[in-house]
Structure 1
Amino acid sequence: MESTTVNVRGIDIHFNRYNNGAKERIVLLHGFTGSTNTWNEVISFLPNTFDILTIDLIGHGVTSKPMDSTRYAVEEQIADLHALFHQLKWSNFTLIGYSMGGRLALSYASQYPVDRLILESSSPGITEIEQRLNRKQSDELLADRILNEGLTSFVHFWEGIPLFYTQRQLSLETQQQIREERLAGSEIGLANSLRGFGTGVQPSYWHKLEEINTPTFLLTGELDEKFSKLAKKMKKYLPNVAHMEIRDVGHAIHVENPELFATIVKDIILKEDVK
């Protein structure tokens, strides 16, 4: 594994690369409070024929955490990714995103070509104005909470929200690893991620779904009703799509069953290659 930090559009972006030069290229984008570490177990189950890039998104991991929240906007992050791929001379890859990273992956694929798009528990945003305003307000309050009460208090709150109830069934060791990854975050990075790239401020991409011809795979957990319903709705608009609902897992499939998640990714890529 190569761990590298490069300057892209005025910020330092950290990424890890595995199996440099292998035939099949994949990019993995983590969710809110995550980092490149979130993919470690999944990667251990993927074949060494995959050239894998995991990226710390702005405000997370080792990547820069600017004080200006507008630098976290989706348009800025799309430009960051594209500049990074250009710098690395990367093209023809599968783009995989989880939750917040899935929103970014979808946004990127609406502007630039990728071979395949795999979205885990993701959304194209919110269309209704009132819902967007309410979500923006709640994200602002959460950002204030992070800055005023500190990271430990926030992580205690965050790991207790209903979205992550199913993670209480994981081993204590795994739960502690997830907690440590969240505690390694940055208050200003997480707060500005909410303010600049929360679902309430991100433009809705629902109207762009019909234009995305990339083979798209929507993965949701059976126990995550909200995002399973969203995926079924997205399926009606995406022209080249499949939806897989995974049994006995919730929002973070790659955490709750990393081996199965890796197998699904591998099967998607290898079966597509045969076509």
Structure 2
Amino acid sequence: MIRFARHPLSTGVTLNVGTAGPEDGAAIILLHGFPESHRTWRGVVPLLEDKYRLIMPDQRGFAGSDAPQDPKDYATDKPVADLFALVDRLGLDDFTLVGHDWGGAVSWAAALRGDPRLKRLVVVNAPHPVIFQKSLIEDADQRAASQYITAFRAPGFEQAVEAMGWDTFFDKSFTGHVDLAAIPPEEKAQYIAEWSQPGVFTAMLNWYRGAAVMVPPPGVTVPLPDFLLRAFPTVKVPTLVVWGMRDKALLPLQLDGLDALVDDLTVERVADAGHFLPWEKPQALARPLRTFLESRLGA
């Protein structure tokens, strides 16, 4: 069963945080992405809560957490700061970080920060920033698949969604990724209830508007950004990457070259899952995650 508490953080936002499992279990912080919440992990919780202390915040801008309206409040360093402020508040000195989608982007950035409390990293269908930006410039298929980012950044996109209706946006969000018939009506209602809160959908879009990633239009030649041409630090913590290979938004080419950017890397490919692997195929995530943790925690 998931327990909830609101945690005011030193970063100035209050996050709604779900927890499950034993308080004395090894701590795992799980970060969701767009367009979700702590509920991303609804299928995983029953598979891990027997042993692990699961900590599942709604990230800033989502669901039950504070939703600043300025896109600058969603530059990657802001949610990374939220993460470590939550770690401070909970008094953790050893934790595993699991991130999906935008939660994975935060997780990559957090690992690169080198905080000694972050001991193990698990990333689910979320690209490393170097590989992602490079692919948006050099790979036509990934560039085409990412044009939705440009749409989300457009002024007035939230008004367009409200005009089309939340039901239609729900269908557009998940069609092509999962079988819509597999999402129960009560789950759909919960998504729409979260999105339609005043200011929340704008805040969710601000993750895209505040991000530094460059998404060129199709067919345009652009140079590689300076940060891709310089030596980039490697991730030092042991890392597991689990990838749903049917992901149509973040193509499997995001795995190419990852071993050069992560010192201790394990990759688990899930052939029959797409982008929303954590709840589409929760066992396919929980199994390798347990194996990874047992090998690293020695229990």
| TM-score interval (norm. to shorter) | 0.7 to 0.9
Residue 156 in 1 paired to residue 168 in 2?
A: yes
The two structures have a TM-score, normalised by structure 2, of 0.79
* Range with bigger deviation, 113-122 or 220-229: 220-229
* Range with bigger deviation, 1-10 or 61-70: 1-10
Contact 1:29 1:97 in 2 (8 A): yes
- For 1:205 and 1:156, the matched residues in 2 are separated by 39
Match of 2:202 among 188, 194, 198: 188
Q: Deviations over 1:109-147 (max 9, x none)?
A: 111231111000011234359859x78643312x62113
Residue 139 in 1 paired to residue 143 in 2?
A: no
Q: What's 2:78 paired with?
A: 76
Q: Percent identity?
A: 19
- For 1:81 and 1:75, the matched residues in 2 are separated by 10
Contact 1:60 1:189 in 2 (8 A): yes
**Counterparts in 2 of 1:75-224, with a 5 A limit?**
75-111=77-113, 112-113=115-116, 114-125=118-129, 126-127=132-133, 131=137, 137-141=150-154, 144-150=156-162, 153=165, 156-157=168-169, 159-160=171-172, 165-168=176-179, 171-173=182-184, 177-178=187-188, 180-185=190-195, 186-197=200-211, 199-200=213-214, 210-224=233-247
- RMSD over aligned Cα atoms: 3.1
- For 2:93 and 2:226, the matched residues in 1 are separated by 26
The two structures have a TM-score, normalised by structure 1, of 0.85
- For 2:72 and 2:46, the matched residues in 1 are separated by 36
User: 2:179 aligns to what SS in structure 1?
Assistant: helix
Q: Deviations over 1:147-166 (max 9, x none)?
A: 343286366346436x7524
Q: 1:76 to 1:40 in 2, by over 3 A?
A: same
- For 2:86 and 2:31, the matched residues in 1 are separated by 13
Q: Hey, which of these two has a bigger chunk of helix by percent? A: 1
Q: Which ranges of structure 1 fall in alignment gaps of 5 or more residues?
A: none
Q: Deviations over 1:162-220 (max 9, x none)?
A: x75241176242x761563255222222232221247449x998767642110111111
Q: Deviations over 1:214-269 (max 9, x none)?
A: 01111111222643210233233211111111121111111211123222211211
Contact 2:171 2:180 in 1 (8 A): no
Contact 1:223 1:251 in 2 (8 A): yes
Q: What's 1:54 paired with?
A: 56
Q: Which ranges of structure 2 fall in alignment gaps of 5 or more residues?
A: 138-142, 216-224
Q: 1:208 to 1:116 in 2, by over 3 A?
A: farther
Count of paired positions: 271
